[in-house]
Amino acid sequence: MSLTSRFSLDTQLFASLRFDRARVVDLLVGWWHSAQVRRQRRALLVSRVQLMAVVFAVLVPLWIVPDVIAFPAAQWLPLAGMRLASSVVFLLLAYSHARVHSGWEVSLRLGVLLTVPTVFHVLACSVLLDVPRSGFAGVLLQIYALLPFVVVAGLAVFPLTGLETLLYALPIFAAFRQAALITGEFSLPANIGTLWLLLLVTGVAMVSGMSQLQYMIALVRQASADALTGALNRHAGVETLELLFRVSASHNTPLALMFVDLDHFKQINDGWGHEAGDAVLRGMAAALRGSLRRGDVLVRWGGEEFLVILNHTDVSGARLVVNRLRHAGLGQRPDGSALTASIGVAERLADSAQDWPELVDLADQRMYAAKEAGRDRAVLPQHTAVPC
């Protein structure tokens, strides 16, 4: 990659990293992440859980040596047993199958990774309750007291939303309080400074996780977006449609497609040039996005063809979208006349589609039926024509 190309890519990424109101919600809760972002984030979370598990599986048993030196057998033996058991759990996390099918499985793996040291901290406080707080043993006790801070700081390694970071941190706060109650040292005035520091570390971990998530979203959007219109490119659209079709089939929910093809687009390129044609396509994409819900997906399928994925939408809902497009319009041609399109609609349940290619093929066939019927109209299942 040339220096100029690299600078251009970095500039585009920096621009996409800027906060706006729509993306702040994605960083705080992540309920509307695209299928590509979800897939990439799951893969990254699993790989980092496995890496951290390998590190912990090696380091945790090694700490048995300082325990043997500092504590009597009544303390270091149960600690050694807990460390070995923790190491076994970490090894299972590290070498479990890497393929992940759901976000819940990813959350479970990360939760287990954080739970093991958190539970170890509470149990260790019970074991070390009568250990003198002087000499080398006192130094180790202070290190044990820092374990909640280490666990919370470890959240900074993962691309988490703000809500996820908070939910993972709350049990660690509870464990810190429980450990202080066991040792008889918990009181709000005495621990306010420590709690504030723990809260500060949580805030830093939250900012770090959200920053990683933001950068990852920018990279995914850069790779999956059509450069001209900002819609998903065909490759990303196929991935999204395949996922949504699978979810729709498993839950028996509706899923509608709109195949949109601009009418007489070749005349625009031939008469006004390709720059005018590009401007029309950008305006068309913007008009389509303006008529869609947040959960709907716009894909540039090729040339002047667009595919609109209407999740959880039946034929009646798709008809409403067509009507919104009819009233809002699709933009203008270079001569000022209204831009029109031929639209084919297919719906998984109404058409009894067995897979997503069949659904796309049905929508494509109805789009051509709309063109043969005179263009500037939509053909829905049961060949119901709706003028646009």
Look at strands 305-311 and 255-262 and give their pairing: antiparallel
Catalytic center residues: 304
Using CA atoms, how far apart are residues 289 and 226, in angstroms rounded to an integer?
A: 14
CA atoms within 13 A on the CB side of 369: 19
302-317: b or e for each residue (b if 16 or more CB lie within 10 Å)?
A: eebbbbbbbbbbbbee
Q: Map the chain to HEC letters.
A: CCHHHHHHHHHHHHHHHCCCHHHHHHHHCCCCCCHHHHHHHHHHHHHHHHHHHHHHHHHHHHCHHHHHHHCCHHHHHHHHHHHHHHHHHHHHHHHCCCCCCCHHHHHHHHHHHHHHHHHHHHHHHHHCCCCCCCHHHHHHHHHHHCHHHHHHHHHHHCCCCHHHHHHHHHHHHHHHHHHHHHHCCCCHHHHHHHHHHHHHHHHHHHHHHHHHHHHHHHHHHHHHECCCCCCECHHHHHHHHHHHHHHHHHHCCCEEEEEEEECCHHHHHHHHCHHHHHHHHHHHHHHHHHCCCCCCEEEEEECCEEEEEEECCCHHHHHHHHHHHHHHCCCECCCCCECCEEEEEEEHHHHCCCCHHHHHHHHHHHHHHHHHCCCCEEEEHHHEEEEC
CA nearest neighbour of 34 among 258, 284, 309: 309
